[in-house]
Amino acid sequence: MVNTEYLKIPKDRVGVTIGKNGKIKHQLEIITKTELKIDSETGNIAISSTDETDDPLAIWKARYMIKAIGRGFNPDLALKLQDDDLILEIINLQDYVGKSKKALVRQKGRIIGKNGRTRQIIHDMLDVEISIYGKTVSLIGKIENIQMAREAIEMILEGSRQKTVYAYLEKMHDKLKRREFDEMVNGVPDEREFLREDLDTDEDFTDAEEDYNQAAVDSEEEFDEENADEEEVPELI
């Protein structure tokens, strides 16, 4: 029985999804063992199973790879979603800033940072791929890293100073590195161990929360983009 799912991507991303001489479309079909039918005029795409489809999640994976390309990722990054440990998360900026074009442009600028610095720091600290396209911010990474990156982006959208966001990212980076080291030494713990660690380290968030609350008190002060370079940038370990 043939299963088919449908999605639509922006028309200006159709060419990227197909690729030169159909290369990307072919790659997607080979990797997921599905068949793609792409309408270049509308951006509508049909993803169907084939006789060779052996993964019950094949259509789902193809859908999210295509969705990632549609949200601005280059195909090489989107194809990483064939890894079962990685997910795609899409944040709709209008949920935070409304329909104001001016507010949308301003907040996108804050997430990107001067010369792309803030986006790069989020990427480097949390090992998360970031695409800012249209009215969305999209993330590719491991689920825990994605949750941390989303929190950092929401802090920016809600008015936190870059300094506060960098402090939060540094704490999360340290937490991920500690966990990575523990896994190397002791093996991968089960979910109960992850939960126990989270409960035991709630205090790690205290300083960041205090900074965040202070930023809320000072929210009447506008963020000064000209002084962005003076913010302390955390060092990677």
Q: What is the CATH number of the domain that holds 68?
A: 3.30.1370.10
In a domain, 34, yes or no: yes
Identify whether residues 48 and 121 lie together within a single domain: no
Residue type, 132: I
Alpha-carbon gap, residue 144 to 167, rounded angstroms: 18
Choose one of 39, 56, 82: the last residue of a domain: 82
Average pLDDT for residues 129-133, to the nearest whole number? 97
Identify whether residues 35 and 132 lie together within a single domain: no
Identify whether residues 78 and 104 lie together within a single domain: no
Average pLDDT for residues 93-121, to the nearest whole number? 95
Give residue 200's pLDDT: 45
* Location of structure tokens 């063992």: 33
The torsion angles phi and psi of 141, rounded to 5 degrees, stand at: 175, -175
Alpha-carbon gap, residue 28 to 60, rounded angstroms: 12
Give residue 236's pLDDT: 53
- Please tell me the least confidently modeled range out of 13-22, 25-34, 124-133, 177-186: 177-186
Which residue pairs from 40-44 have beta carbons closer than 8 angstroms and sit at least 24 positions apart in sequence? 40/11, 40/14, 40/15, 41/11, 42/8, 42/11, 43/8, 43/9, 43/10, 43/11, 43/13, 43/14, 43/70, 44/6, 44/7, 44/8
Identify whether residues 210 and 147 lie together within a single domain: yes
Choose one of 54, 82, 110: the last residue of a domain: 82
Average pLDDT for residues 89-112, to the nearest whole number? 95
Identify whether residues 220 and 148 lie together within a single domain: yes
Identify whether residues 103 and 65 lie together within a single domain: no
Q: How confident is the model at residue 221 (pLDDT cuts 50, 70, 90)?
A: very low
Identify whether residues 100 and 132 lie together within a single domain: yes
Residue 81 has pLDDT above 80, yes or no: yes
Residue type, 99: K
In a domain, 152, yes or no: yes
Give residue 214's pLDDT: 47
Identify whether residues 176 and 205 lie together within a single domain: yes
In a domain, 235, yes or no: no
Identify whether residues 145 and 173 lie together within a single domain: yes
Identify whether residues 187 and 215 lie together within a single domain: yes
Choose one of 59, 82, 105: the last residue of a domain: 82
Q: Positive or negative, the Cα torsion across 35, 39, 40, 43?
A: negative
Residue 209 has pLDDT above 60, yes or no: no
Domain span including residue 42: 4-82
Give the other-Cβ count within 10 Å of 163's Cβ.
Answer: 14
Confidence (pTM)? 0.77
In a domain, 119, yes or no: yes
DSSP bridge pairs for 89: 139
Identify whether residues 22 and 109 lie together within a single domain: no
Alpha-carbon gap, residue 14 to 133, rounded angstroms: 15
In a domain, 150, yes or no: yes
In a domain, 236, yes or no: no
Residue 214 structure tokens? 């202070």
Identify whether residues 71 and 96 lie together within a single domain: no
3-state helix/strand/coil string of the chain: CCCEEEEECCHHHHHHHHCHHHHHHHHHHHHHCEEEEECCCCCEEEEEECCCCCCCCHHHHHHHHHHHHHCCCCHHHHHHHHCCCEEEEEEECHHHHCCCHHHHHHHHHHHHCHHHHHHHHHHHHHCCEEEEECCEEEEEEEHHHHHHHHHHHHHHHCCCCHHHHHHHHHHHHHHHHHHHHHHHHHCCCCHHHHHHHHHHCHHHHHHHHHHHHHHHHCCCCCCCHHHHHHCCCCCCC
User: Domain tally for the chain?
Assistant: 2
In a domain, 183, yes or no: yes
Residue 196 has pLDDT above 60, yes or no: no
- Please tell me the least confidently modeled range out of 28-37, 56-65, 139-148, 200-209: 200-209
Residue 185 has pLDDT above 90, yes or no: no
